[in-house]
């Protein structure tokens, strides 16, 4: 999966994942300055079944964690399941009040 291009399209509030010229997956978010709510992971139907949703979620979590100034709220069901499968990454999750 080294040929994938991950980007943060801040103007659209979404992370994108391209394979070559093809957009394969997006992860929409809302950022309130303290928390990034990951609201919708979507893989283009013709590219499903290749693990792109997992790749874009992991890279988004990596990017948010590297910035060091936000927590994550996993609003999207897929992102929530990703965190359940990766409990070692739970330190960045916003704790529910």
Q: What is the pLDDT of residues 40-92, one digit of tens each?
A: 999 999 999 999 999 999 999 999 999 999 999 999 999 999 999 999 999 99
Q: Where are the alpha helices (DSSP H) in the chain?
A: 52-67, 77-85
Domains in the chain, CATH or no CATH each: 4-92 (3.40.630.30)
Residue 2, pLDDT > 90, answer: no
Q: Give the integer Cα–Cα distance in Å for 61 and 41.
A: 13
Banded pLDDT at 1 (limits 50, 70, 90): low
Nearest one of 72, 6, 79, 81 to 37, comparing CA atoms: 72
- Geometric angle at alpha carbon 50, from 37 and 5, rounded to 5°: 60
pTM of the model: 0.94
Q: Give the integer Cα–Cα distance in Å for 68 and 96.
A: 19
Measured torsion, CA atoms of residues 73, 11, 45, 23, in degrees rounded to the nearest 10: -120
């Amino acid at each position: 999966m080294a040929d994938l291009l991950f980007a943060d399209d801040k103007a659209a509030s979404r992370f994108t994942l391209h394979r070559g010229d093809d957009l394969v997956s997006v992860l929409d978010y809302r950022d309130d300055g303290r928390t990034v709510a990951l609201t919708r992971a979507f893989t283009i139907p013709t590219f499903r079944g290749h693990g792109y949703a997992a790749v874009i979620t992991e890279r988004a979590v990596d990017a948010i964690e590297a910035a060091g100034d936000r927590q994550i709220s996993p609003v999207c069901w897929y992102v929530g399941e990703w965190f359940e499968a990766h409990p070692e990454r739970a330190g960045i999750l916003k704790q529910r009040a």
